[in-house]
Amino acid sequence: MSSTPRISVIVGSARPVRIGRQLADSVASTLSTNLDAEIQILDLAEVALPMLDEPLMAGMNQYQNAHTVAWANLIAESDGVIFVTPQYNAGYPAALKNAIDYIYAEWKNKPSAIISYGGRGGLASAAQLRQVLEFIGLDLVDTDASFTIAQTDYTPEWSLGDSDAVVARYADDVRALGDAVLAKIDAEEEAEAA
Ligand SMILES: Cc1cc2nc3c(=O)[nH]c(=O)nc-3n(C[C@H](O)[C@H](O)[C@H](O)COP(=O)(O)O)c2cc1C
């Protein structure tokens, strides 16, 4: 691991008009202020994976497409990940499931946390995502953070008027998640060194 741990904030929504990137940027800047870690954004709209097109299942560890190897490297080079996901119809977005399913070994034991958002905090999305991530074997912190987004938080164009202000309502939760992910990274490093 690099001397400064790298934590990636994964933007789980990939729509052309969305609030996920704004929220992830505000989460990243909240984390950067108090965490001794490099925080990077992995935006699924930019990663732009096609619908899963690997011939073999990811667990066989024989990736054949350059976009799969590039995505696998981004996760392998992340010491921890924080998923920022909206709720779509009581679940999490297809783009996020697709990105998860592309790779396998890179997720194993990855210190990680979930931040969900929606009209009521996106709790169903977080629960569904947790079930999948636990199945794969990520090392998830016990508690999720959830952001309730009010209609008044949106501009008429469906972006957030002030995403920093939205995230500030949950700053303590975000910092606690960051601390918990970093603690898991540290524990893993100590276990490797022992
Ligand atoms: C396909 C779709 C389904 C949605 N389903 C829910 C839902 O089940 N619960 C909820 O609170 N909001 C739901 N919403 C509203 C989203 O919380 C809201 O649009 C939010 O901005 C989505 O995040 P995004 O802008 O980053 O894509 C849904 C939105 C979309 C596009």
Q: Residue 87 to residues 30, 90, 104, 157: CA-CA distances in angstroms?
A: 22, 6, 24, 19
Say how many Å lie between the CA of residue 1 and the centre of ligand 1.
Answer: 36
Say how many Å lie between the CA of residue 92 and the centre of ligand 1.
Answer: 9
**pTM score above 0.85:** yes
Reading the block at residue 183, the tokens are: 């603690």
Which residues in 19-46 are b (16+ Cβ under 10 Å) and which e? bbbbbbbbbbebbeeebebebeebbbee
Q: Which atom of ligand 1 is the closest one to the Cα of 14?
A: 27
Could you tell me how many residues make up the chain?
194
Split at pLDDT 50, 70, 90, the class of 1 is low
SS3 label, residue 24:
helix
Which among 87, 116, 167 is the best mutation to test ligand 1's pocket, defined by most ligand atoms within 8 Å of the CB?
87
Nearest to 27 by CA among 45, 7, 44: 7
Split at pLDDT 50, 70, 90, the class of 175 is very high
Q: Give the integer Cα–Cα distance in Å for 10 and 96.
A: 9
Q: Spell out the CATH class of 6-193.
A: alpha beta
Which among 11, 15, 88 is the best mutation to test ligand 1's pocket, defined by most ligand atoms within 8 Å of the CB?
88
Reading the block at residue 60, the tokens are: 């066989």
Say how many Å lie between the CA of residue 22 and the centre of ligand 1.
Answer: 15
Q: Residue 129 to residues 5, 138, 156: CA-CA distances in angstroms?
A: 24, 11, 30
pLDDT tens, position by position, 53-108: 999 999 999 999 999 999 999 999 999 999 999 999 999 999 999 999 999 999 99
Q: Give the integer Cα–Cα distance in Å for 91 and 118.
A: 11
Query: How many angstroms from the chain centroid is the CA of residue 168?
Result: 18
Nearest to 92 by CA among 83, 104, 81: 83
Residues with CB under 6 A from ligand 1: 13, 15, 18-20, 86-90, 118-120
**Smallest CA separation from ligand 1 atom 27, residue:** 18
Position 20 scores a pLDDT of 98
Say how many Å lie between the CA of residue 83 and the centre of ligand 1.
Answer: 16
Position 113 scores a pLDDT of 98
**Smallest CA separation from ligand 1 atom 15, residue:** 118
Through-space distance between the first and last CA atoms of the chain, rounded to whole angstroms: 15
Domain coordinates in residue numbering, the chain: 6-193
